[in-house]
Structure formats: C-alpha cells, structure tokens
Amino acid sequence: MDSAAHREGRLFDGILLLSDLDGTLLDSRKNIPARSREAIRRFKEQGGLFSIATGRCPCSAEIVARQAEVNCPGVTLNGAVVYDFRAGRPAGQTCLPEWYQAVLRDVHAAFPAVGLQVYVGSDIYIVHSNDVVERLFHIEHTEKCRKEASFGGLPPRVNKALIGGRHEELQRVRRFLEGRLEGMYGMFTEEQYYELLPAHTNKGTGVRQVAEVCGVSPSCIAVVGDYYNDVEMLKSAAYPMVAGNAPDDVKIFARFIAGDCDGGVVADVIEHMERRLRERGRL
C-alpha cells in the first residue's frame, strides 16, 4: 500500500494484522498486556483490521477475541476453521479424511500413554485422556466443550486431532506416523502437543481466506507469531513479524522481531508498522 492510500488519521486503511495468541498476543500469564490493548485500539481507529490466528478452537479463541475487540474474522484450529466472531459461525473450514480414526487407533495401540482428542469446531471429543490434555482444558477454558467418546463414537468428519504427551514420546509418535498420513499431516504446536491437520491446511491458508473475506490485498497482510505452527503464516504474509521469545529457526522468517510476550508484542509490532508507514508510505 502506498502513501496516497492513507487519508489523514487513517494510517492503517486496508491493512490486515493477525496475531497468534499464546506467546504472542497473550503474555506468560495468558493476559493481553495493557499497552497491546491500547495499540490495537489505535490500529483500528486508524483503519486497520485486527484479528487472531490460533490453534485453539473457536470457543476458546472467542474469549480472547472479545477481550482484544477484533473487527474481522480470525483463524482457529491452526487454519482448519476460519471463524467469524461477529456472526458466531465458521466462514470456512477443512476436515481430516475419514480414515483419521484408524490412524488414532494405531497410535493408541502403540503409545497407550498419550492423550488423544479430536475437534469438530468447538466440540472436543476425548478418546483417551492424560495430564497433558487435561491441562489444556484449564488453560484454554474449554471444559464446557468437552465430550467423552470411544473410537467407535467419533464423528466421521473432524477438523483436527491432537496428541498430547511428553516431547520424547511424541517424537516417537511422529516417526511412527511417517508414511501413514495420506490426506493429512502432523505438526508440533508446542513441545507437548502434536496435531494432525488436513493436507494443505495451516495458519497461512487461513490468513489468506481471512484476507479474501475482508477484501484485503495480499500486499497489505501483516502477521505476528512465535512458534513452528506459525511458520506457514509468516511465509504467506507480506509483512511477517515474530515475538522475541520465538525460537531462532522461526525468527529467520521475520522482517521484524518484537520484544518478549510479557512486554506487549502486539504493541511493539503496531508501533513498528506506524513508524514504517510514516517513513516509507508502505509496509
């Protein structure tokens, strides 16, 4: 976007900014720092579109979306569901192939200690629980979304599956699944979580869908993240940024590196974009 497009007081007209949640928009206590709230308000007042891109389900993401006062759809379930928070419904979604159930059965037989859950929008089906997946319900405030299920009772079409356990064991799960994931792929979203997602689905595809829904030019997409599940999003955006607490091999995809999440990453990136737009007239 060039400087001619910016009217007085509307520096961010036509610009879409999507932020990851944990470790990016949210601090280590899972709150939005005050300076980030103020920066988001200023960003929107100056014409910007702000939303979130997360691995969380829509129900959990919506809690943060309300706190951040997003003004456009966002990405949930790591790209499997693009969600319109204002309308309270998906704007688009993808699903795992139906044979995901056989894959999870094989995982459970080979690794009985790992937790297994699957997501259909905000419904979370628990197939096998452990401390790792139980902790996730507390962190993401999703206990009300919980549904107990046997393998035989799982829905045929789901948005993603999550495997929870010790990182060393999940590395063995990852190797076990090599060559078995037709129509889907596996990805670490944190050290204790390994997810199965539909092929060609990630935060990057979700961000592009949000931009299409909002009529935003690809050249005006900015994103900020902090972990490996953010890499495709970073690669897909015109202006990728990362939190200072991101791993070094994630930072290489960024054009700007913000401070630590406890200091207000989103405030850092908005202030950086303000300076860049005023100096250059474009991202």
Range of the domain at 175: 100-198
- For residue 176, the model assigns a pLDDT of 99
CA distances from 37 to 70, 99, 267 (A): 11, 43, 8
Pair 107, 140 in one domain: yes
Pair 80, 207 in one domain: yes
Pair 188, 120 in one domain: yes
Pair 17, 51 in one domain: yes
Pair 69, 138 in one domain: no
Pair 163, 185 in one domain: yes
Question: DSSP E strands: which ranges in 209-267?
Answer: 221-225, 239-242, 256-257
For the entire predicted model, the pTM comes to 0.94
Pair 104, 86 in one domain: no
The neighbour count for residue 66, using CB atoms within 10 Å, is 10
- Is residue 44 a contact partner of residue 71, using CB atoms and an 8 Å limit? yes
Tell me the three state secondary structure of residue 247: coil
Q: Which residues of 209-219 are buried (b: 16+ CB within 10 A; e: fewer)?
A: bbbeebebeee
Pair 189, 250 in one domain: no
Q: Cα–Cα distance between 241 and 226 in angstroms, integer?
A: 9
pLDDT band at 8 (very low <50, low <70, confident <90, very high): low
Pair 80, 11 in one domain: yes
Pair 209, 86 in one domain: yes
Model pLDDT for residues 124-152, shown as the tens digit of each residue? 999 999 999 999 999 999 999 999 999 99
- Is residue 273 a contact partner of residue 222, using CB atoms and an 8 Å limit? yes
Pair 68, 205 in one domain: yes
Pairing of the two strands 16-19 and 221-225: parallel
Model pLDDT for residues 79-128, shown as the tens digit of each residue? 999 999 999 999 999 999 999 999 999 999 999 999 999 999 999 999 99
Which CATH number fits the domain that encloses residue 226? 3.40.50.1000
> What is the token pair recorded at 16?
């879409």
Model pLDDT for residues 201-232, shown as the tens digit of each residue? 999 999 999 999 999 999 999 999 999 999 99
User: Domain end: 198, 228, 249, which one?
Assistant: 198
Which CATH number fits the domain that encloses residue 194? 3.30.1240.10
> What is the token pair recorded at 277?
């737009």
Pair 263, 248 in one domain: yes
- Is residue 210 a contact partner of residue 75, using CB atoms and an 8 Å limit? yes
Q: How many domains does the chain have?
A: 2
